[in-house]
Amino acid sequence: MYKIVFSDIDGTLLNHDRELSPSTISTIKELKDKLPFVLISARMPAAMRHLQANLDINEQPIICYNGGLILVDGQAVSSTEIPLNTLESLCDFNQNMNCHLSLYHSDEWYVPEYDQWAAREENNTKVKPEIKSNNDVLSVWKQDNKGAHKIMAMGDEAHIDKIKDYLSENFPEQLHLYCSKPTYLEISNKEISKLTAIKFLLKNHFKITTEETIAFGDNYNDVEMIKGVGMGVAVGNARKEVLEVANIVTQSGKEDGVANSLKELFKI
């Protein structure tokens, strides 16, 4: 029998207004006393906490930045950053193109200016960025000996392609590059994934096996997780790559696929 559920957020758990539907909230509230429900996302912690609160699962760990940061009781139990010198190389390369680079570390989110990209991300995640040039952020992080949990490059397709090519050429073993759409490039440390984070929590916190685990997802960064757990569930709107490795396919995120699937699996 399954003992824990992990769910991606964007495209998976949220409805078309990018919110939790009443059905999703009531289903998870009913389930949470029977087994843990854990959020797992590319988002920063601040963009996940309000959803945790709505679902009444504040006591559960959260997996942020695709596994780059794992929080238990608000404390980091695992943190994997992009090294500062890699960040410096990218910022130098980007100097002439001036593509939007959002820099993230834990609950810090810095944007070089408040442009359309920053506004869109704020609207999606309900978190307000701090405006600071990439170079200023780098000099502060250098003093604090910090790297980035995530970099988001946002801009026109040609610029994004150039950045992707540059990073794949120069840091093939170090970086994981993931285009959620042609104008968005998410950059994280290659050592981590959603599956590595799940395995870390299962072993160190829950003492549950991967075979006893259910995970929901929709996008490229969910493939390994969906393939690696006991029951991998793809929502109906998932990418082809996710649909191909899933054990079952439920309705789309906009049609409460996660809630419907949980009701069926746990007879709620």
Q: Which of 173, 189, 205 is the last residue of a domain?
A: 189
Residues 139 and 95 placed together within one structural domain of the fold:
yes
Does the pLDDT at position 179 exceed 90? no
Residues 72 and 46 placed together within one structural domain of the fold:
yes
Residues 183 and 210 placed together within one structural domain of the fold:
no
Positions marked active-site: 8
Q: Which of 189, 213, 248 is the last residue of a domain?
A: 189
Pairing state of beta strands 62-64 and 69-72? Answer: antiparallel
Mean of pLDDT values over 26-53:
96
Q: Which of 189, 216, 251 is the last residue of a domain?
A: 189
Residues 95 and 178 placed together within one structural domain of the fold:
yes
179 burial level (CB within 10 Å; 0-12, 13-18, 19+): middle
Residues 184 and 102 placed together within one structural domain of the fold:
yes
DSSP E strand boundaries for the chain: 4-7, 37-40, 62-64, 69-72, 75-79, 100-105, 108-111, 130-131, 150-154, 175-181, 184-189, 213-217, 231-234, 248-249
Model confidence at 195, pLDDT cuts 50, 70, 90, reads very high
Residue of 211, 217, 205 whose CA lies nearest to 250: 217
pLDDT digits (tens, 9 = 90+) for 210-253: 999 999 999 999 999 999 999 999 999 999 999 999 999 999 99
Residues 128 and 176 placed together within one structural domain of the fold:
yes
Number of structural domains found in the chain? 2
Do the beta carbons of residue 219 and residue 241 sit within 8 Å?
Answer: no
- Alpha-carbon span 188 to 206, nearest angstrom: 26
Residues 201 and 74 placed together within one structural domain of the fold:
yes
Radius of gyration of the chain (CA): 18
Mean of pLDDT values over 142-166:
96
Residue-level pLDDT at 6? 98
Residues 146 and 219 placed together within one structural domain of the fold:
no
Residue-level pLDDT at 102? 97
Residue-level pLDDT at 96? 86
Pairing state of beta strands 184-189 and 37-40? Answer: unpaired
SS3 103: strand
Residues 174 and 103 placed together within one structural domain of the fold:
yes
- Global pTM reads 0.94
Mean of pLDDT values over 193-222:
97
Residues 196 and 72 placed together within one structural domain of the fold:
yes
Residue 202 dihedral angles phi and psi, to the nearest 5°: -60, -45
Residue of 235, 229, 243 whose CA lies nearest to 261: 235
Q: Could you tell me the CATH number of the domain that includes residue 104?
A: 3.30.1240.10
Residues 207 and 184 placed together within one structural domain of the fold:
no
Q: Residue 174 belongs to what domain range? A: 86-189
Residues 91 and 68 placed together within one structural domain of the fold:
no
Q: Could you tell me the CATH number of the domain that includes residue 70?
A: 3.40.50.1000
Across the strands, what pairs with 128?
none
Residue-level pLDDT at 56? 97
